Amino acid sequence: MSEQVQVTLHEAKSQLLQLGARAWQGDRVVITKAGMPYLDLLPHVDTPQTRKPGRLKEKIRMSTDFDRTPEDIIEGVAGRL
- Domain residue ranges of the chain, discontinuous segments joined by +: 4-41
Q: 32 CB contacts (<8 Å, ≥6 apart)?
A: 6, 7, 8, 9, 38
Cut 0.85: pTM above it: no
Q: Which run of H or E residues covers position 27?
A: none
Q: 5 CB contacts (<8 Å, ≥6 apart)?
A: 19, 22, 27, 28, 29, 30
Using 50, 70 and 90 to split pLDDT, how confident is the model at 3? very high
7-57, pLDDT tens digit by residue? 999 999 999 999 999 999 999 999 999 999 999 999 988 888 888 898 888
The more confidently predicted of residues 75 and 29 is 29
